[in-house]
Structure 1
C-alpha cells in the first residue's frame, strides 16, 4: 500500500510585524555612489511602538521607503509578518501597501473632496473591497471624531485631519503602521494628543507602530528608540525620555554601529 506523505506542520507564527535583514540602498554608481542605508538589521515585534531617529541624511526616510515597498532595496530583505516581500512585483507591492501596511504622513494626505468617513474607507475601496461600516464608525469614535464623520478635510483642524489619517491607516487592520514625522505640521499641544492616540493604538488595539521623527518629545511616547547614523544602525534606547533622547541626539558622534537589533 502506498503511503501518502504527511502534510508539513504549519509554520509557527512570527512575533515580528516587520523585519529587515542586511538592508542596503545605494543611489548612483561608481565614485559618485551614495549608500543611504548600509546593511541595517531590525526587527519590530507585534504590538510595539518604535521611534527611528537620526540626523539629516542618516537613512531614516530611506528605511521607511524600503519597509513600505515604495522602492526595492539594493540588497537585503524585507519581511512583513514573516513573509519575504522583497522581490514582489509592483502590483503585489501595491496590494501590500493597501492591505497590510498603514501610513500616517506629516502632511495628512487626505482627499479634499471626500468626507472623513470616506477618507477612512478609501484603502478598502481602492483594494476593491466593501468597507465594514461598523469598523469605520468604531475607528472614528476611537480617534474622537464620531461627530465629524461627514465633514470634509477643509472643515477640520490639522489635529483632526491627522486623526482621520490614523483611522484610515488602521482600517485594514494592517501588520504595521508606518508614521513619517506625523506631528511635524502640528503645534505642540495638538502633537501631544496625536502621539497619545498612536500610543493608544498600540496599547489598546495591539497595533505595531514604527515612527520616523526628529523630535525627542515625540520619541518619548515610544517603547524603544533606534538611532541611525550614516545609513547604519548606531544604537537603541528602551523606555526613552525626552531628555535622554535629546542628550543622545547631541552625542551622535559617540554612537557606534551595532549588529542586528530586535526592538
Structure 2
C-alpha cells in the first residue's frame, strides 16, 4: 500500500499502447511493449539502495552534477506568480528537493516516475524535510504520457532517466507539450567519455566494478549491468541535442562533466 504522507501523494499508472516495434534494453534488442516491464523490474530491485549505489558508483560525483544542474537552472527564489516544476524519473526526490530548497514562495513541484517503489523512497525522504516552503507531490506516470495539462509547467527536469524511456522521442515531445512558452527543459544524463585513455579506463571500471558493487551493496549485480549497457547505447551529446530540437525546442546547450562521463542539456520552448 502506498504511503499517504501528508495527503499530497497520487499514485497512478499510465502505460503506453503496445506495438510490434523493437528497442534496446542495454545491449539486447527487445519488443517495445516489453521494455518498460524489464526496466520496472530493474528499479524495483534497486529502489531501496538507489542513492547509496549512486554514491558508490560515482564516488559522490553525481551530487556535484545534480548541484550543477540546479545551479544552471537558477529557479527564482521569490517568483511573483506560481512557478511550476515537473521532475520526471525523479522518484527519490534528489533533484526536486534541491530545486525546492531554493524557492521560498509560489513554488510547486511534481515528481513523476513510472516506478512506484522509487516514489515510495521519495515520499519517505519528503516526510523528513523540515518545514518545506515548496511542496512536492509524487505521481506514478509514464514520461510518454504525462498527467499534466498542456502548457502548465515552467520547468521540466529529468536526471539519469531519459535513457530508460522506451520511446525517447515521444517523451521529448511530451516534455515540449507540458511546458509553457518560455519554459525550460533540462536533462542530466550519463554521456560518452571523449578523452583518450580515460575512455578505456572508464569502460573497464564500468563493466568490471559497477555490477560487483551492485551485488555487494544492493544484493544484485544484474540491474547494474543493464544500467552500464544502457549508458553505452545512449546517443552522444550532439545526437541527443538533435533529438531535443526535433521535439521543437530552441537554444539547445550542452555542458559536459568529468571528461564526458555526464552531460547536461538545456533548451527552451520558444
User: Could you tell me the TM-score, scaled by structure 1's length?
Assistant: 0.30
Higher helix share: 2
User: Could you tell me the TM-score, scaled by structure 2's length?
Assistant: 0.29
Compare CA radii of gyration and give the structure with the larger one: 1
Which structure is richer in relative contact order (CA contacts within 8 A, separation 6 or more)? 1
